[in-house]
């Protein structure tokens, strides 16, 4: 369920390595993205999951060498999700739109990957946060595509001075860029705002056809006192107890280095203050973003790219 004009953007980092480990470690993100871009013009790149009831498709990719980034548009489909329903807002009459054979409820996800590595050998990524669409799906799909469409040859030593030809490929891994716990980070920051968010489906007729549309209900908490460290965590836990029926807790705080941070955590987790979280930012777009875009949304891409640029400007500070 996704809001039409709001997107939560995750900040992540990718690393590359060869498989097998003894193979040359010479892959670059540029060559891998160039290869996928070429293949998508000729083939349908799709990875099936969950006994072929879920599909993740790379529907479009553009390699922007001047900007030093590649933008990927993913399409996710799930046959197991309930059929969408629509209601007449005045009469309450309900119409259910049944999925056709081989169809699944669909959602798209924009992802931007930097083509250059940081000093820590990390390729920075920003992507849309889509409910139920975890990193596992992207990692699995990309590694499958690399294996099938970009295998490389090398001479491997099977015993001293004895060699044979072998294949190797790139393996990608994607992790939270700013992985840490909320409790740890609040020891160095003061709460400035809290927002509780609840997602639910609404019924809306779209020109393009049936679709599930997400509407968000938010409750903002004004912070007037000075809350940091364990005191801040205690306040967040109290808010969770008082309002347990919300899905996400959006926490804003100011670090001791004067940097503002925004973190989204899952309210359904018991000890949410000790889970590892992704850095996340909310952006607004004027032009409606469909639940499942068939082409790259220009405004959304531009705003996501600005977030990537901010991260890339920090590379000089990498240890």
Give pLDDT tens digits along the chain (319 positions): 567 888 889 999 999 999 999 899 999 999 999 999 999 999 999 999 988 889 999 999 999 999 999 999 999 998 887 777 888 888 888 888 888 887 787 889 999 999 999 877 899 999 999 877 889 999 999 999 999 999 999 988 778 888 888 899 999 999 877 556 777 778 878 888 888 888 765 555 545 544 444 566 788 888 888 888 888 888 888 888 888 888 888 888 887 766 677 777 777 666 766 666 667 788 889 899 998 899 999 999 999 999 999 888 876 554 4
Q: How far is the C-alpha of 13 from the C-alpha of 29, rounded, in Å? A: 12
Of 101, 96, 94, the residue nearest 83 (C-alpha): 96
Q: What is the pLDDT of residue 275?
A: 61
Q: Per the structure block, which two tokens stand in for 213? A: 């549309």
Q: How far apart are the first and last CA of the chain?
A: 39
Q: What is the pLDDT of residue 257?
A: 64
* Residue found under tokens 């553009």: 62
CB 36 within 8 Å of CB 149: yes
Q: What is the pLDDT of residue 83?
A: 74
pTM over 0.75: no
What is the chain written as a DSSP string?
Answer: ---SSEEEEEEEEEEEEEESTTS-----HHHHHHHHHHHHTTS--EEEETTTTEEEEEEEEEEETTTTEEEEEEEEEETTSPPPEEE-TTT--EEE-PPPTT--EEEEEEEEEESS--TTS-EEEEEE--TT--HHHHHHHHHHHHHHH--EEEEEEEETTEEEEEEEEEEEEEEETT-EEHHHHHTTEEEEEEEEEEEEEE---BTTB---EEEEEEEEEE--S--BHHHHHHHHHHHHHHSTT-SEEEEEEEETTS-EEEEEEETTSTTGGGSEE-EEEEEE-SSPPPSS-SS--HHHHHHHHHHHHHHHTTGGG--
**Domain ranges across the chain:** 1-177+297-314, 180-277
Q: How far is the C-alpha of 250 from the C-alpha of 265, rounded, in Å? A: 7
List beta partners, residue 209. Answer: 206
Q: Per the structure block, which two tokens stand in for 273? A: 């203050």
With vertex at residue 12, the alpha carbon angle to CA 257 and CA 253, rounded to the nearest 5 degrees, is 30
What is 140-153 written as a DSSP string?
Answer: HHHHHHHHHH--EE
What is 63-106 written as a DSSP string?
Answer: EETTTTEEEEEEEEEETTSPPPEEE-TTT--EEE-PPPTT--EE
Phi and psi angles of residue 281, each rounded to the nearest 5 degrees, phi first = -135, 150
Q: What is the pLDDT of residue 319?
A: 40
List beta partners, residue 58. Answer: 74
CB 289 within 8 Å of CB 301: no
Q: What is the pLDDT of residue 258?
A: 66
Q: What is the pLDDT of residue 65?
A: 96
Q: How far is the C-alpha of 197 from the C-alpha of 182, rounded, in Å? A: 18
């Amino acid at each position: 369920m996704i809001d039409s004009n709001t997107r939560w953007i995750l900040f992540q980092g990718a690393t590359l390595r060869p498989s097998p480990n003894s193979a040359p470690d010479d892959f670059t993100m540029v060559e891998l993205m160039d290869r996928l871009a070429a293949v998508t013009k000729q083939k349908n790149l799709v990875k099936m999951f969950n006994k072929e009831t879920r599909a993740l498709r790379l529907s479009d990719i553009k390699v922007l060498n001047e900007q030093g980034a590649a933008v990927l548009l993913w399409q996710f489909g799930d046959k197991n999700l309930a059929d969408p329903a629509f209601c007449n807002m005045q009469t309450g009459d309900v119409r259910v739109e049944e999925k056709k054979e081989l169809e699944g409820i669909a959602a798209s996800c924009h992802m931007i990957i930097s083509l250059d590595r940081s000093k820590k050998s990390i390729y920075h990524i920003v992507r849309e946060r889509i409910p139920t669409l975890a990193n596992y799906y992207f990692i699995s799909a990309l590694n499958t595509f690399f294996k099938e469409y970009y295998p490389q040859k090398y001479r491997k030593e099977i015993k001293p001075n004895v060699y044979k030809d072998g294949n190797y490929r790139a393996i990608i891994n994607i992790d939270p860029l700013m992985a840490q716990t909320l409790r740890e980070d609040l020891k160095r920051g003061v709460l400035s705002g809290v927002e509780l968010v609840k997602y639910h489906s609404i019924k809306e007729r779209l020109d393009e056809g049936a679709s599930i549309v997400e509407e968000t209900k938010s409750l903002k908490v004004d912070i007037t006192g000075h809350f940091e460290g364990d005191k801040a965590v205690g306040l967040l836990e109290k808010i969770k107890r008082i309002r347990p029926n919300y899905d996400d807790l959006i926490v804003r705080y100011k670090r001791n280095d004067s940097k503002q941070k925004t973190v989204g955590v899952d309210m359904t987790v018991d000890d949410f203050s000790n889970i590892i979280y992704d850095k996340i930012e909310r952006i607004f777009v004027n032009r409606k973003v469909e639940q499942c875009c068939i082409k790259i949304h220009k405004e959304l891409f531009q705003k996501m790219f600005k977030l990537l640029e901010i991260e890339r400007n920090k590379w000089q500070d990498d240890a």
